[in-house]
């Protein structure tokens, strides 16, 4: 029940509802249509009498049958909502039609909505447009907004952003929050108007101040990211919280992230968990995935694989790739589910087809090793390539290895070196060592000891024992770098400490070439290094 005529205002104005009820009832029983409608309103709201939707319907119907348009409208609302009568969209549409043909704007709007949704009537965008236009021309803000949306999406009319903007603005200037939000979106995206962050923020704020949760969320996002405005974590939290308290799932999820990361607030695992759960229970897939992760790893909750698979599955069935991958991992390990390699591969593939890097890489591994699938290097290369082209270093390295195989599907030393280089630039230690070795030996590229030294150094710094050993040898003989027996001893000692047994003999040789002061200094430097 959204709009009422003058008689409802009269019914509300009496200081004694009971006396007013008796007066109105007498008029209604004598067949006065406005009084019948007012009596229906009093029963609907329990003013001067016990509330009764059923009796409200009785009196609205009598007024409506007399042709009173706002009674016809209110009776339509009762049928649409199932208040005092069994819900019946066809009856609602019939009563709205009678009121709409008398020019009653709210009925025209609701009739347009039923045509748009196909409720009680065959869906008909042209008729929806007709009735929205009728109501909009009378200044109905909801109809103006809906016209804007139809022009925005090209539903029932040719898409026209300028027309959409014009209708949004009419409704927005009347204070209609959804239209204010929609107008803000257009300024945000530069659709139909020049992009203008200030205007977007202004319209978001107008809608947000009226409690419109999507606008509160968009304001929060802007403050959170500092996108076009000064970043302000506290304002972001304020607006996320206002929307979250209205059960806006994305705001609840983002608040969970904020507490998870300690962004602008003290890190609080329990609050993060609470907000994730609220969003997850509303069907927010990313929140369901994060809740699954909590149960999977026992983070803030008792580890529970069954709960983990429950939440992963909810998100996975919505197509969330991270959850599909994690559900695959549970089937792989038999955690919370019966171990099933085929089911694991099914979910990995679902995630991989959506571009999930780790799923693509793991599928590549499966085909390369023949685990759970027939061994197939070509399919392995195809999956590795998909991840590699998204800069996943492990996939780039493994792709290089497959190109390096003499008996592989496509031996190509240049391609191998190219993928090793990409992975090495991304910090992959094995690729850095391999690339160093290629420059050292001139395998597939020009021999270059300086480049070999550079890549060995990168890998050695990550604890790669063979790279540490090779680096030690280069310092011993001055290959690609100035000879330095102290540096040679230190790297050889690190290689031995990292488990590379062959370093021991060379380490003794280096020590024999050093005096006691040099050796003491080298040992002191070694003790200061991590590991």
Q: Each residue of 368-392: pLDDT tens digit?
A: 999 889 999 999 999 999 999 999 9
Yes or no: say if 173 and 139 are a contact pair by the CB < 8 Å rule.
no
Average pLDDT, whole number, for the chain?
Answer: 93
Q: How many residues in total does the chain contain?
A: 531
pLDDT, greater one: 40 or 4: 40
Least confident segment among 57-61, 235-239, 498-502:
498-502
Long-range own/partner contacts, residues 382-391 (CB < 8 A, 24 or more apart): 383/352, 384/360, 386/352, 386/355, 386/360, 387/357, 387/358, 387/360, 387/361, 388/419, 388/422, 390/355, 390/357, 391/422, 391/426
Instruction: Tell me the per-residue pLDDT of 390-407, one tens digit each, with 9 for 90 and over.
Output: 999 999 999 999 999 888
For tokens 């710094």, the residue is 461
- Kindly tell me the sign of the dihedral angle through the C-alpha atoms of 491, 458, 388, 438: negative
* Mean pLDDT, rounded, for 61-89: 97
Mean pLDDT confidence for 37-63: 95
Task: Report which of 278, 281, 286, 368 is spatially closest to residue 324, judged by C-alpha positions.
Answer: 286
CA 267 to chain centre: 21
pLDDT at 14 > cutoff 70: no
Contact 162, 192 (CB under 8 A): yes
Where is average pLDDT lowest: 47-56, 132-141, 444-453, 515-524? 515-524
CA distance 66 to 9: 20
Task: Using the predicted structure, report yes or no on whether residue 236 has a pLDDT greater than 80.
Answer: yes
pLDDT in tens, 101-158: 999 999 999 999 999 999 999 999 999 999 999 999 999 999 999 999 999 999 888 9
pLDDT of residue 531: 60
- pTM for this structure? 0.83
Range from 10-24, 160-174, 230-244, 402-416 carrying the lowest mean pLDDT = 10-24
Q: How far from each other are the two terminal CA atoms of the chain, in whole angstroms?
A: 72
pLDDT band per the 50, 70, 90 thresholds, residue 205: very high
Helical axes 213-225 vs 233-244, angle rounded to 10°: 160
User: How far apart are alpha carbons 439 and 474 in whole angstroms?
Assistant: 13
In DSSP notation, 66-78 reads TT-HHHHHHHHHH
In the predicted model, is pLDDT for residue 1 greater than 80? no
2 pLDDT above the threshold of 70: no
How many angstroms separate the Cα of 104 from the Cα of each of 39, 98, 108, 109, 140?
20, 9, 6, 9, 10
């Amino acid at each position: 029940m959204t709009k009422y005529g003058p008689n409802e205002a009269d019914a509300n104005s009496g200081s004694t509802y009971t006396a007013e009820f008796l007066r109105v009832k007498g008029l209604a029983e004598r067949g006065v249509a406005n009084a019948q409608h007012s009596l229906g309103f009093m029963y609907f709201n329990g003013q001067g009498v016990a509330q009764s939707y059923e009796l409200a319907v009785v009196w609205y119907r009598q007024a409506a049958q007399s042709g009173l348009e706002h009674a016809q409208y209110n009776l339509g609302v009762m049928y649409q909502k199932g208040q005092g009568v069994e819900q019946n969209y066809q009856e609602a549409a019939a009563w709205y039609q009678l009121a709409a043909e008398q020019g009653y704007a709210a009925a025209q709007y609701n009739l347009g909505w039923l045509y748009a949704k196909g409720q009680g009537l065959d869906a008909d965008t042209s008729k929806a447009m007709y009735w929205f236009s009728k109501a909009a021309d009378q200044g109905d803000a909801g109809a103006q907004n809906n016209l804007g949306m139809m022009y925005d999406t090209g539903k029932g009319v040719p898409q026209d952003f300028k027309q959409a903007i014009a209708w949004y603005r009419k409704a927005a200037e009347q204070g209609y929050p959804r239209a204010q939000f929609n107008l803000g979106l257009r300024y945000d995206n530069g659709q139909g108007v020049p992009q203008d962050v200030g205007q977007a923020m202004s319209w978001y704020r107008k809608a947000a101040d009226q409690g419109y949760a999507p606008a509160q969320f968009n304001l929060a996002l802007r403050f959170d990211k500092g996108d076009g405005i000064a970043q302000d974590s506290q304002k972001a939290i304020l607006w996320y919280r206002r929307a979250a308290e209205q059960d806006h799932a994305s705001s609840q999820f983002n608040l969970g992230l904020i507490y998870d990361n300690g962004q602008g607030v003290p890190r609080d695992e329990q609050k993060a968990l609470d907000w994730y759960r609220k969003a997850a229970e509303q069907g927010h897939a990313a929140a369901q995935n994060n809740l699954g992760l909590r149960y999977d790893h026992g983070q803030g909750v008792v580890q529970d694989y069954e709960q983990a698979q429950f939440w992963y599955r909810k998100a996975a069935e919505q197509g969330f790739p991270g959850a599909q991958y994690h559900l695959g991992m549970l089937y792989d390990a038999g955690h919370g589910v019966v171990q099933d390699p085929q089911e694991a591969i099914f979910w990995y593939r679902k995630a991989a087809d959506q571009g999930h890097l780790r799923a693509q890489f793991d599928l590549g591994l499966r085909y390369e090793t023949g685990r759970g699938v027939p061994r197939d290097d070509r399919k392995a290369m195809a999956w590795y390539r998909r991840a590699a082209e998204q800069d996943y270093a492990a996939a780039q390295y493994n792709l290089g290895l497959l190109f390096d195989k003499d008996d592989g599907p496509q031996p190509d030393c240049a391609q191998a070196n190219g993928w090793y280089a990409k992975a090495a630039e991304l910090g992959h230690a094995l690729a850095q060592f391999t690339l160093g070795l290629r420059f050292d030996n001139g395998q597939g590229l020009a021999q270059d000891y300086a480049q070999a030294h550079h890549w060995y150094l990168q890998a050695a710094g990550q604890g790669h024992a063979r790279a540490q050993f090779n680096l030690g040898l280069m310092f011993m003989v001055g290959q690609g770098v100035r000879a330095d027996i102290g540096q040679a001893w230190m790297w050889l000692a690190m290689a031995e400490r990292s488990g590379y047994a062959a370093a021991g003999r060379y380490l003794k040789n280096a020590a024999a070439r050093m005096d006691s002061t040099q050796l003491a200094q080298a040992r002191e430097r070694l003790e200061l290094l991590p590991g």
